[in-house]
């Protein structure tokens, strides 16, 4: 296996990487870094959590250090586009960490925050600019950034950028870049639209692919809890009684749903925050920081807001609502099984969500075991033929009757979270991401 020391990276970068606790390269890094160093354009099919940020950042930093280009006022040498502010912040944090012993100038621009400091940061010119497309175009229209000297373009989460309607913005941005450049595109999935974008932007790209959906999903101890819609709130309160659910990411489909769940957690006295599109950038960042530091036990999020978010030591992902796009399920549960760690997911499925569950099981190529041992179990909901489902809670009455979906041939599960407790060995199970782990709090009580 390749080691970081085998890559010929600058000694200061290596030192920072080693201080971050990384020892071995992840598969995407093993494949991508040599190709980027060899000046290739690259399509990387990889999800967040695979180590892809370092896969492009480390060789990028190396090339900026050894290349002939230099900084010019209002220009950037490398441009990294990301769909969300959170992802942009995260990439910037990673790059700052890898470049902490170097004199590279790194700037970050995103919407929802004052443009003034961003403009100021760009004025003398930067080596690496991380940007969300909308704000970058605004600043470009105001002539605060000149994109004519970009040597490296990186698109991160390309599929999500297209989902979020950024295609026009991306095209406008790319139209201003020099044709002579190196381009890297990363995407969790490769639908035709991303393929088309890649064809228009990259030259003879090398393609690498890691961790297809099923692989990520396999690392997570997944369960579905069948519950009438009206009782999901009670079920949430019930499962959160278990202290082993110490750092919990809760997903809803809508912003309103996220607000409702956050209010409920407040009422239950469970420290939590929420991130979704209606929250100000400040509020989102604050909620994320509080969750990262362990100050809050739960973070409620919508798919778009949570995409790409990297938080260490998430013990459980709760799908309060099943996502209608099956890929979102994989992204959601991937928040708890980061870079080799294990994690657990609990999906609350009501009668109307059975179809979504079926779609999910198709793409992850496995059945999600049903956890029956809770007071709101709705027997037969997932496998029953259409029309035969009783839409009422059983108050715990019919537990134990097989619906053909019990884990391990009908063996009963423990309390929600209980089985996850035995599988997780605490923060050390998360491998080498030790740089942010000092303030990690396990077993935080409500
Ligand atoms: P990413 O896919 O870039 O979001 O990275 C996911 C997490 O893996 C981040 O917390 C990184 O700090 C961590 N990470 C990246 N590369 C490595 C590595 N080689 N060894 C261990 N952890 C890593």
Is the distance from the beta carbon of residue 310 to the nearest atom of ligand 1 less than 6 Å?
A: yes
- C-beta 431 within 6 A of ligand 1: yes
Taking the centre of ligand 1 as the mean of its atom positions, its distance from the CA of residue 292, in whole angstroms, is 15
| Residue 228 Cα to ligand 1 middle (Å) | 38
Residue-level pLDDT at 387: 39
Q: Which CATH architecture has domain 4-209?
A: 3-Layer(aba) Sandwich (3.40)
Would you state the pLDDT for residue 433?
31
Q: Which residue's C-alpha comes closest to atom 17 of ligand 1?
A: 51
How far apart CA 255 and CA 252 sit, in angstroms, is: 8
pLDDT at 215: 57
Pocket test for ligand 1, best of 28, 33, 53 (most atoms within 8 A of CB): 53
Distance 50 CA to ligand 1 centre (A): 6
Q: Which residue puts its alpha carbon closest to atom 19 of ligand 1?
A: 25
Nearest alpha carbon, ligand 1 atom 10: 433
Tens digit of each residue's pLDDT, the chain (446 residues): 678 999 999 999 999 999 998 888 988 999 999 999 999 999 999 877 788 999 999 999 999 999 999 999 999 999 999 998 889 999 999 999 999 999 999 999 999 899 999 999 999 999 999 999 999 999 999 999 999 999 999 999 999 899 889 999 999 999 999 999 999 999 988 888 999 999 999 999 999 988 554 556 677 899 999 999 999 999 999 999 999 999 999 999 999 999 999 999 999 999 999 998 777 878 888 999 999 999 999 999 998 777 667 787 899 999 999 998 887 888 888 888 665 566 899 999 999 999 999 988 887 878 899 999 999 998 766 554 443 333 333 333 333 333 333 332 223 333 333 333 333 232 232 322 323 332 322 222 22
Ligand 1: does its nearest atom lie under 6 Å from the Cβ of 54?
Answer: yes
SS (H, E, C) the chain: CCEHHHHCCCHHHHHHHHHCCCCECCHHHHHHHHHHHCCCCEEEECCCCCCHHHHHHHHHHHHHHHCCCCCCCCEEEEEEECCCHHHHHHHHHHHHHHCCCCCCCEEEECCCCCCHHHHHHHCCCEEEEEECHHHHHHHHHCCCCECCCCCEEEECCHHHHHHCCCHHHHHHHHHCCCCCCEEEEEECCCCHHHHHHHHHHCCCCEEEECCCHHHHHHCEEEEEEECCHHHHHHHHHHHCCCCCCCCEEEECCCHHHHHHHHHHHHHHCCCEEEECCCCCHHHHHHHHHHHHHCCCCEEEECHHHHCCCCCCCCCEEEECCCCCCHHHHHHHHHHHCHHHCCEEEEEEECHHHHHHHHHHHHHHCCCCCECCCCCCCCCCCCCCCCCCCCCCCCCCCCCCCCCCCECCCCCCCCCCCHHHHHHCCCHHHHCCCHHHCCCCCCCCCC
- Ordered by start, the domain boundaries in the chain are 4-209, 220-247+311-442
Q: Which atom of ligand 1 is nearest to the CA of 435?
A: 12
* CB 156 less than 6 A from any atom of ligand 1: no
> HEC states along 175-202?
HCCCCCCEEEEEECCCCHHHHHHHHHHC
What pLDDT, on a 0 to 100 scale, did the predictor assign at position 189? 82
Specify the pLDDT at position 195.
Answer: 94
- Give Cβ neighbours of residue 9 (< 8 Å, ≥ 6 apart): 17, 58, 62
The answer to whether the CB of 264 is under 6 A from ligand 1 is no
Q: Write down the pLDDT at residue 446.
A: 20
Show the tokens assigned to 60: 């990028």
Among 95, 339, 440, the mutation site with the greatest number of ligand 1 atoms within 8 A of its Cβ is 339
pTM: 0.63
Distance of CA 248 from the midpoint of ligand 1 (Å): 20
Cα-based angle 241, 243, 244 (whole degrees, multiple of 5): 125
361 Cα: distance to centroid of ligand 1 (angstroms): 27
**Pocket of ligand 1, candidates 433, 434, 435, 437: which has the most ligand atoms within 8 Å of its Cβ, to mutate?**
433
Number of the ligand 1 atom closest to the C-alpha atom of 310? 4
At residue 40, the pLDDT reads 98
- What ligand 1 atom has the least distance to the C-alpha of 312? 10
CA of 341 from ligand 1 middle (Å) equals 11
Exposure letters 182-216 (e unless 16+ CB within 10 A, then b): bbbbbbbbbeeebeebbeebbeebbebebbbbeeb
């Amino acid at each position: 296996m390749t080691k970081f020391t085998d890559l010929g990276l600058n000694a200061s970068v290596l030192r920072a990487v080693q201080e971050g606790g990384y020892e071995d390269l992840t598969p995407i890094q093993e494949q991508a870094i040599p190709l980027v160093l060899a000046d290739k354009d690259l399509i990387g099919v990889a999800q967040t959590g695979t180590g892809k940020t370092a896969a492009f950042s480390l060789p990028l930093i190396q090339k900026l250090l050894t290349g002939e280009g230099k900084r010019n006022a209002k220009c950037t040498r490398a441009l990294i586009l990301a769909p969300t502010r959170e992802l942009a912040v995260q990439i910037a944090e990673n790059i700052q960490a890898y470049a902490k012993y170097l004199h590279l100038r790194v700037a970050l621009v995103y919407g929802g925050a004052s443009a003034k400091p961003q403009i100021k940061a760009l004025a003398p010119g930067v080596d690496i600019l991380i940007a969300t497309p909308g704000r970058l175009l605004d600043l470009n229209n105001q002539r605060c950034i000149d994109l004519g000297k970009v040597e490296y373009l990186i698109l991160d989460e390309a599929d999500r950028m297209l989902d979020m309607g950024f295609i026009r913005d991306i095209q406008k941005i790319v139209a201003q870049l020099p044709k002579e450049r190196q381009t890297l595109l990363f995407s969790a999935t490769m639908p035709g639209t991303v393929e088309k974008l890649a064809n228009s932007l990259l030259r003879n790209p090398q393609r690498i692919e890691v961790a297809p959906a099923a692989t990520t999903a396999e690392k997570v101890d997944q369960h579905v809890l069948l519950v009438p819609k009206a009782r999901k709130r009670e079920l949430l309160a019930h499962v959160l009684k278990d202290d082993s659910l110490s750092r919990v990411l809760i997903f809803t489909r809508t912003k309103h749903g996220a607000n409702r769940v956050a209010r409920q957690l407040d009422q239950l006295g469970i420290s939590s925050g929420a991130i979704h599109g209606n929250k100000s950038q400040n509020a989102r960042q604050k909620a994320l920081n509080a969750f990262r530091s362990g100050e809050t036990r739960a973070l409620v999020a919508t798919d778009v807001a949570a995409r790409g978010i990297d938080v260490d030591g998430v013990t459980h992902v709760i799908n309060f609502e099943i996502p209608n796009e099956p890929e979102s399920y994989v992204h959601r549960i991937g928040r708890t099984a980061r870079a080799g760690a294990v994690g657990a997911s609990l999906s609350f499925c009501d009668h109307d969500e059975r179809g979504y569950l079926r779609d999910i099981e198709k793409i992850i190529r496995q059945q999600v075991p049903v956890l029956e041992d809770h007071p709101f179990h709705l027997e037969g909901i997932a496998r029953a033929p259409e029309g035969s489902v009783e839409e009422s809670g059983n108050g715990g009455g019919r537990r134990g009757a097989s619906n053909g979906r019990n884990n391990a041939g009908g063996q009963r599960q423990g309390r929600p979270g209980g089985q996850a407790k035995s599988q997780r060995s605490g923060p050390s199970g998360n491998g080498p991401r030790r740089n942010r782990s000092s303030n990690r709090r396990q077993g935080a009580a409500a």
